[in-house]
Amino acid sequence: MTPTGTAPPPPAPAGAPAAPHASEGHEAPDAPEAPHAPEAPHAPGAPHAGPDAAGAALAEAAGPDRAPEVWPLTARTVDGVLHVGGVALPDLAAACGTPLYVVDEADFRARAREWRACGADRVHYASKAFLCAEAVRWVDSEGLHLDVCSGGELRLALDAGFDPARIVLHGNNKAPEELRAAVAAGVGTVVVDCLEEIDRLAALARAAGRMQDVHVRIAPGVTAATHAYMATGGDDVKFGFPVTGGRAERAVLAVAAAGSLRPAGLHAHLGSQLLDAAGLRLSARRVAAFARTLAERHGVRVRELDLGGGAGIAYLPGERRLPAAEFAAALRSGIADVLDPAGTALAVEPGRSLIGTAGVTLYRVGAVKDGVRRRFVSVDGGMSDALRPALYQARYTAWSAGRSLQGPPVHSVVVGRHCESGDVVVPDIALPADLAAGDLMAVPATGAYHHVMASNYNFQPRPAVVSVRDGRARLMVRRETPEDLARRDAGGAEIDLERAAR
């Protein structure tokens, strides 16, 4: 069990074929069963609680009283019923159905204020973590800036009335129409990530008669202590210009020479779900040293260093989060090692640490089935609404939302309803033996990278999102219906290729 709630997948040998998915109908050849130690006595017909298949301790099932670090700030258990924002979750399930994403507005606002006071000059909410029109309004009212990384996110933010001057546009391969929309809207800062993009953006800004502020994203060559898929600061990643070999230097000079672009800052992002501040300080020091080189060698002085986000949260009982003040202090310290901090503005981009713990996903148990070694608890969602366990091997806890359970702990796996063996919501957790079909189960710390990564796999409609505060609930995103999905089916309509070519 890792402190980040994730475990890196073992690397496959170069050239090795990918293992077939269970749902594809391939079967592994039979192998002799290895002998195993005798099991301790336990209830007849029920798997016992104990080490998981890898020998690690099972995750603990823990509610807000026992593990407040993974639950929203307002979460409480009252007579066995879980409440968030003063609202009983069974009432939400009755009104809105399940699966259901529940977001604690008070939790988000409290963490936004923590970040506003962290010591950074600007705080940008990383909207890729969670985005909808109501969330945009929360960000706006808390005085945060907003970073977006697609035309869709930009459109949603603008439609919700967010000031484009406080928007930062990210992305390693922005489409020309996305750059055009950003320039037309007056987006405050565009983070450039490749030479082609610099040329395209310069031409668009010139045509609009605009001087566009630009941050050049650089790769500082620092590897984060996180899952490999969430590490973005190395010198051989798809994001940014490596400082190594002069690539970042040439990119900044190209921006400075464009005429319609202003090199206003540098951007670097170490990775996501970071819990150790040491790497942040090193990254900040390297970015600051690069800024000093630009000034001394070329007379190019950038006024802001945007050093990204990635502050980690707790996913399992007993884990820690990286506080905003500690995060910002590490960056400030790294900058001060090289530059005068009074002359350098610091921007940060928290996402997960603002919204992650505010979210809870509510499921209904449909079936409970005992396997040879584990109990399988099947819920009415799965990898279509909770992709992180399959993608990052992320681990969570869970808790009964509708009644108090008193049974002994049983080695269980919470699985989804999709046609995949990897469709696991909570792997290897000790759940009470009296958990049964029909019960409501809540999985905490799902505010970030759940709703935004949801899919329609197995033609499953995506869940609704509701916010709760002071005993009231509001619909943020409505539940999809099978009719919504069917409307996208074009039925084989012919495409006019000649018209498209004209």
Alpha helix positions (H), 337-455? 352-355, 388-392
CA distance 244 to 236: 10
For residue 247, give every residue at least 6 positions away whose Cβ sits within 8 Å of its Cβ, in sequence order, or none. 241
Cα separations in angstroms, 149 against 169, 201, 289 = 6, 15, 27
Query: In the predicted model, is pLDDT for residue 34 greater than 60?
Result: no
- Give me the residues paired with residue 124 across strands: 145
The type of residue at 163 is D
The pLDDT, as a whole number, for residue 278 is: 84
Query: In the predicted model, is pLDDT for residue 332 greater than 70?
Result: yes
CA distance 174 to 197: 7
Average pLDDT over residues 37-54: 42
CA distance 251 to 253: 5
CB-based contact 257:300 (threshold 8 Å): no
Average pLDDT, the chain: 87
Give pTM, 2 decimals: 0.86
Compute how many other C-beta atoms are within 10 angstroms of the C-beta atom of residue 330.
22
Catalytic sites, residue numbers: 419
The pLDDT, as a whole number, for residue 47 is: 54
How does pLDDT run across 220-243, given as a tens digit for each residue? 866 654 444 444 445 667 768 988
How does pLDDT run across 159-206, given as a tens digit for each residue? 999 999 999 999 989 999 999 999 999 999 999 999 999 999 999 999
Residue 122 gets the label, from left (phi > 0), alpha (psi -120 to 50) or beta, of beta
CA distance 450 to 118: 26
CA distance 188 to 182: 9
Cα separations in angstroms, 247 against 172, 285, 294 = 15, 18, 13
How does pLDDT run across 427-463, given as a tens digit for each residue? 999 999 999 999 999 999 999 999 999 999 999 999 9
